[in-house]
Amino acid sequence: MSDLEIKQLIDTARDRALAFITTDPVLQDADKKEVGYCLGGILRLEVRAGERDITRLAALAVRKLRHREQTRRATTSIYQKHGRSIS
C-alpha cells in the first residue's frame, strides 16, 4: 500500500469513527481536539499492525476511545470523592 492509500484509508476510517462519536453518550461530550488527536494515533497504529478494513478500523478506534474516556471519568470521580484533583 502506498502512503497516499494509507492516508486515504485512515481519513475514511476517521470519518466513520467521528460519525459514531457524535452520537455516543460517553464520547459526545469529550474534548473534540483530544478525541481527534487520539483517534488519529489509534488508526495509524492499527494500520501499521495490518488492519485494512475501514469498518473494523473505525469500530476499534471508537471502542478504544470509549474505554479511555470511561477510565478517565472513573479516575476523576475517585479523585473528587477524596478531595483531590488530577493535574
pLDDT at 66: 93
The pLDDT assigned to 7 comes to: 94
pLDDT (0 to 100) of residue 72: 86
Q: Report pLDDT for 86.
A: 65
Sole residue written with cell 478531595 = 83
Q: In terms of C-beta density within 10 A (0-12 exposed, 13-18 middle, 19 or more buried), how is residue 39 classed?
A: buried
Low-confidence ranges of the chain (pLDDT < 50): none
C-beta of residue 26 within 8 angstroms of C-beta of residue 70: yes
* Contact present, 70 and 24 (Cβ < 8 Å): no
Q: With the C-alpha atoms ordered 68, 24, 5, 50, is the resulting torsion angle positive or negative?
A: positive
Tell me what pLDDT residue 87 has.
59
